[in-house]
Structure 1
Amino acid sequence: MDEEQESINSYNSEESYTQVPQTYVPPSESGSGAAGTGNRRASGGSSGADSAQRLRLVPTETVKSLQDIGMSQQAPLPDVNAPAASQGAIFPEEYTLETPTGLVPVATLHSLGRTATAISRSRTRQLDRNESVTSSLRGEKDADAEDEAAAAASAAAASEKGAADLDPDIEFVTFVTGDPQNPHNWPLWLRWLYTIVLSILVISVAYGSACITGGLGTVEKKYHVSQEVAILTCSLMVIGFSLGPLLWSPVSDLYGRRVAYFVSLGLYVIFNIPCAIAPNIGCLLACRFLCGVWSSSGLCLVGGSIADMFPPETRGRAIAFFAYAPYCGPVFGPLVNGFISVSTGRMDLIFWVNMAFAGAMWLIVAFIPETFAPVILKRRAARLRRETGNPKIMTEQEAQGLSFGEMLRTTLLRPLYFAITEPVLDLMCFYVCLIYSLLYAFFFAYPVIFGELYGYKDNLIGLMFIPILIGASLALATTSYCESKYLQITHRRNPTPEDRLLGAMIGAPFAAIALWILGATAEKHVIWVGPASSGLAFGYGMVLIYYSLNNYIIDCYAMFASSALATKVFLRSAGGAAFPLFTSQMYHRLGLHWASWLLAFISTAMIAIPFAFYYYGKALRGRMSKKNYAFDGME
């Protein structure tokens, strides 16, 4: 078999051509390839045109070959990182499965027993292969134009109601066996390098939210405003964190994570400039809010980027770094900028440093290749359509034709629906919100305790946050133990979402203990080590709780994990923005002891949540949830 007849999917085994059905497509250059004799719509013209339009063979998968790699009639749940269009898909494995040929016909999926009821055949009916054969002979420029027009026609037809089934002539693109473009096949050291870089990106974004807390006095002095107004420079950026995912998640689904990172982080870097040179407080507050919206991609997409590179059974340890980063990042804000504030008194320098940190991470992250499998395969499908002239090679996301507007409505409405109808999710999100809020409360409780009680300036107050970093680092080591225990469970039986709560059960008492210590040691005659040591326990419990509950929410709402996480991000950010606005007043009104103890009472009551859900979670989910969205609900 000559070179022109080799598969465009890098499937080069000559023996395979006799083992799989052949898709007849025109060659990328007229007059090349071998003559084809198939019964699919290969030509629509005269015999002279037939001789000029010689066809080559492209292997596709059979029912047997799909069964041999583990596919069955029952479609599994989509992976956590699957695009929104994968809900109800007939081929949800498309983005995680590797096949020998890289092409899976819809007709073969139908023969396997997979069906869909909400997708129109007419969206590709107009793309007859007779037209595609002709377009392949018109030159690359005209072919590209027709390809774009065909894609637009497909998207327009996607909105039709009362649809039947997918066009059986469609061929879905997958990764081929051992595909080097599949992030799961990248070298392990490279995947961990990218994981560390992305975690540092999260730290830089979280650092930006709290960078001004080390120099609130500089804002008050420059703009002649109260402390409450100065605190808004922190709160408004955190509010931006809650709204940004509504924009960047759909952008990521449609155009890829690299595009979302590059655009959003570039805007974040730029908007630090008006923050530094803002002529008035209104300009500063508006730009800080926009900085939160732009930079939020680093919080809402990094977990997905890390999960893109690791299969479910090994991604837990990598995700632990993501759980560590957003809680440690804000701690560097007062730690670094307290010294800038005291030594220079310049507010603008705080933002210039933040801009430099964000700019460096923007440039570094730009070198990370695309990790989102749906976008990688979508680009491969576009290339194959150009090379073959076959417009019916596509991903299932393209076949369903989900538009940006439809995806935006999904990302906006479903999280709100979950917030209203899912008390289990609300309770877990409330706990996450409390822990995140307490972290920001520390930023304003410490200045009262160490500034007013001990007389420390911002630079020394910032040093008091170091124990939180130490505790969080210890928690990161503990997550490895939690992952080992979880893997042991998976080897014995099918795990449940409640098996993810071990970390929260370990960490929950430490968050409460930290606040009891902080309240009990807030006395002038007690050396500063007492209240500062509370950060050690808080950092340890904080990361373990967040890591564990994050995994629990994903497993509980596996069918719509991204929407459930969006609900969590919204509620968490709202709490983180609200607490700084009243923490200082609370400590002044209630006193140093009772302000901490009030939060300690609440944290102590919340200890029961992970234990209660560990023992009774499945029954509670069955009683309180509208539907069981977890994997065990599909059994």
Structure 2
Amino acid sequence: MNSQSSSTSNLGQEGPETLFTPITHISENRDPYLPYRTLSNEANIAEYTAETDTGVIPKRTITKTGEKASYKLVTFTIDDPENPKNFPLWRKWWCTIVIAVLCLVVALCSSVITPGIEGIQEEFGCNRETALLAITLFVMGFGIGPMAFAPMSEIVGRWIIYATTFFVSLIFLIPQAVAKNIETLLVTRLICGIAMSAPMTLVGGSLADLWKTEERGVPMAFFSAAPFIGPALGPLIGGYLSLAGWRWLFWFQLIVGGVAYILIAFTVPETYAPTILTRRAKRLRKETGDQSYVTEEEIDRRPFGETVKICIMRPFQLLFGELIVLLISVYMSVLYGLLYMFFVAYPIVYGEGKGWARGKTGLMFIPLAIGVILSAACSPLVNKHYLKLSKKYNGNPPPEMRLIPMMLSCWLIPIGLFIFAWCSYPHVHWFGSMIGGFPVGFGFIFLYNSANNYLVDTYQAQAASALAAKTFLRSFWGAVTVLFTTQMYHRLGYQWASTLLAFLALACCAIPFVFFYFGVRIRRHSKFAAPDTPSAGPNDIEKNAAH
């Protein structure tokens, strides 16, 4: 947060009827996890981003009945211990690690059943495509859940969503482990996927709650790695667990999920500032009898119908009406689809082609996981470079500066796929095709982080909806890819099937370059993109590109 010494700040000012006390420690205004969708346009967001000497911001406004009203908007005080950003460092890291582990478990659950698909086929007498729906429906849930859980968390807080949804997912893991028919398995997998999407949806907001903008580089690396390490570890662990029977794959999910639930439910507190301050306002009203202690959540919330409309319709407006959101979402969908295609392609290349057992095939995912871990470890360096660029632009770099890591790392994905493709002949040593997973894994994190940051900086107050649009398309495409990967590899052959994917990834490499050089012009014609600051015009981008 930036210190502000002015005695008459007008940040978030709503009109002549609103007065403010001195505000210090204003947080970054590009935070997409503030309650823009649940509060009216007149609400004073500074209440949630400011620390004040008095703990209140006076507000005079006109009520819906036309009467003048005076309120005391409750804020955090300077160095307030209840402000999650002021938690001791060890507590911040504990919360971050627990949340990252929760995301890792969720991602693991999406792929760990892959080696058990054949067992499911044999048990229930279904074809392979039907059995693969156990993966497809689960991942589809990742696209459905965020539409509800993200706005719900802006109303009731993060913790209650974590605790309730993950508990529901654990309950529905039990009928999966004891299922007597394929219908039970598939229906409960969909419900479980929807419920488990909450941690993946809320983790970005939780990290924003805990860490100041300049501190988020390393913590965000923990989060970024989890959604990719989990799917990579799933087939490795599942390959050996499936030897004891496919049902153990679901009991395993229940065990690790239960441990993660205990950690999140009993050791991580509420971190969402609006919820914490609303509780404080209620406590102050009760203790003092002064009913003027309020929060914007209590007096300036949008009508429920309007909130629902924004949360459901806005992501699709952005997805189909904004070129930036559409192409970035398509790119991330291609990458996510590649990841889930590997779950089917590896057993074909190594199981069918080389005659390997499922456990040994799972070992081939290790370079992919190592690539993800190493790229996550490099994330702080990328963040350090961005901070240097930020100084060059006087603290207001254009969103296109977020694309630089993407422009450098996008080539790694097709390189890795080409290596995997042409080393996948049965007579070629396994090391060649296995090592192709390393550049793919290494490129994932830089692409994923750059895409998220670019959407956040471009759309700011609309960023939550932009991210929801990306998640929706990404999840549905990733879910569908597993259904046709087998046919594609059998008809095109191992080499040309992977080559097709490599060329698709290669074509997507043009996307960050297009936006880097033409993003400013595109944003000028956008209805939802945030306006450019004076220090971030097209000339600045061209000068930076020249350097």
Normalised to the residue count of structure 2, the TM-score between the two structures is: 0.90
2:367 and 2:434 in contact (8 A); partners too: yes
**Equivalent in the alignment of 1:528:** 430
Alignment of 1:210-221 (within 5 A): 210-221=111-122
Once residues 349 and 147 of structure 2 are traced to their aligned partners in structure 1, the CA distance between those partners, rounded to angstroms, is: 38
3-state DSSP class of the match of 2:22? helix
**Equivalent in the alignment of 2:105:** 204
Tell me the amino acid that sits aligned with residue 386 of structure 2.
Answer: Y
Alignment of 1:105 with 2:5, yes or no, is no
1:411 and 1:563 in contact (8 A); partners too: yes
Deviations for 1:438-495, whole angstroms, at most 9, x for unmatched residues?
Answer: 0001111111100111101111111110110111111112211110110011122121
3-state DSSP class of the match of 1:244? helix
Once residues 40 and 174 of structure 2 are traced to their aligned partners in structure 1, the CA distance between those partners, rounded to angstroms, is: 42
Alignment of 1:295 with 2:196, yes or no, is yes
> Which of 94, 107, 110 lines up with 1:193 in the alignment?
94
Count of aligned pairs: 517
Alignment of 1:409 with 2:352, yes or no, is no
1:256 and 1:375 in contact (8 A); partners too: yes
**Equivalent in the alignment of 1:495:** 397
Alpha-carbon offset, residue 634 of structure 1: 11
**Equivalent in the alignment of 2:32:** 80
3-state DSSP class of the match of 1:203? helix
Unaligned runs of 5+ in 2: 1-6, 9-17, 537-547
Alpha-carbon offset, residue 612 of structure 1: 2.4
Tell me the amino acid that sits aligned with residue 93 of structure 2.
Answer: W
In structure 2, the CA distance between the partners of 1:633 and 1:203, relative to structure 1 (3 Å rule), is farther
**Equivalent in the alignment of 1:381:** 281
In structure 2, the CA distance between the partners of 1:428 and 1:524, relative to structure 1 (3 Å rule), is same
Once residues 173 and 563 of structure 1 are traced to their aligned partners in structure 2, the CA distance between those partners, rounded to angstroms, is: 27
- Higher mean alpha-carbon deviation, 491-500 vs 172-181, is at 491-500
Once residues 627 and 96 of structure 1 are traced to their aligned partners in structure 2, the CA distance between those partners, rounded to angstroms, is: 22
Alpha-carbon offset, residue 87 of structure 1: 5.5
Once residues 113 and 534 of structure 2 are traced to their aligned partners in structure 1, the CA distance between those partners, rounded to angstroms, is: 46
Alignment of 1:190-589 (within 5 A): 190-342=91-243, 344=244, 346-366=245-265, 367-402=267-302, 404-493=304-393, 494-589=396-491
Alpha-carbon offset, residue 76 of structure 1: 9.1
In structure 2, the CA distance between the partners of 1:99 and 1:583, relative to structure 1 (3 Å rule), is same
Alignment of 1:600 with 2:499, yes or no, is no
Alignment of 1:122 with 2:23, yes or no, is no
Unaligned runs of 5+ in 1: 1-18, 21-60, 111-118, 126-166
2:405 and 2:450 in contact (8 A); partners too: yes
3-state DSSP class of the match of 1:391? coil
Percent of aligned pairs with the same residue? 39
Alpha-carbon offset, residue 317 of structure 1: 2.9
1:307 and 1:319 in contact (8 A); partners too: no
> Which of 83, 93, 97 lines up with 2:46 in the alignment?
93
3-state DSSP class of the match of 2:530? coil
Tell me the amino acid that sits aligned with residue 388 of structure 2.
Answer: Q
**Equivalent in the alignment of 1:66:** 22
2:407 and 2:513 in contact (8 A); partners too: yes
Tell me the amino acid that sits aligned with residue 120 of structure 1.
Answer: T
Deviations for 1:72-97, whole angstroms, at most 9, x for unmatched residues?
Answer: xxx99573221123462352111120
Tell me the amino acid that sits aligned with residue 437 of structure 1.
Answer: G
Alpha-carbon offset, residue 572 of structure 1: 0.6
**Equivalent in the alignment of 1:49:** none
1:246 and 1:408 in contact (8 A); partners too: no
Alpha-carbon offset, residue 615 of structure 1: 2.6
1:211 and 1:350 in contact (8 A); partners too: yes
3-state DSSP class of the match of 1:171? strand
In structure 2, the CA distance between the partners of 1:87 and 1:567, relative to structure 1 (3 Å rule), is farther
1:308 and 1:371 in contact (8 A); partners too: yes
Once residues 100 and 56 of structure 2 are traced to their aligned partners in structure 1, the CA distance between those partners, rounded to angstroms, is: 35
Tell me the amino acid that sits aligned with residue 187 of structure 1.
Answer: P
- Higher mean alpha-carbon deviation, 523-532 vs 266-275, is at 523-532
In structure 2, the CA distance between the partners of 1:296 and 1:445, relative to structure 1 (3 Å rule), is same
- Higher mean alpha-carbon deviation, 374-383 vs 167-176, is at 167-176
Once residues 98 and 317 of structure 1 are traced to their aligned partners in structure 2, the CA distance between those partners, rounded to angstroms, is: 25
Once residues 476 and 426 of structure 1 are traced to their aligned partners in structure 2, the CA distance between those partners, rounded to angstroms, is: 26
Once residues 282 and 258 of structure 2 are traced to their aligned partners in structure 1, the CA distance between those partners, rounded to angstroms, is: 33
Deviations for 1:537-595, whole angstroms, at most 9, x for unmatched residues?
Answer: 11001121111111111111102111111001101101110110101110000011110
3-state DSSP class of the match of 1:465? helix
In structure 2, the CA distance between the partners of 1:528 and 1:601, relative to structure 1 (3 Å rule), is same
In structure 2, the CA distance between the partners of 1:293 and 1:90, relative to structure 1 (3 Å rule), is closer
The structure with higher relative contact order (CA 8 Å, sep 6+) is 2
Once residues 64 and 56 of structure 2 are traced to their aligned partners in structure 1, the CA distance between those partners, rounded to angstroms, is: 19
2:129 and 2:483 in contact (8 A); partners too: yes
3-state DSSP class of the match of 1:106? strand
Normalised to the residue count of structure 1, the TM-score between the two structures is: 0.78
Alpha-carbon offset, residue 190 of structure 1: 2.0
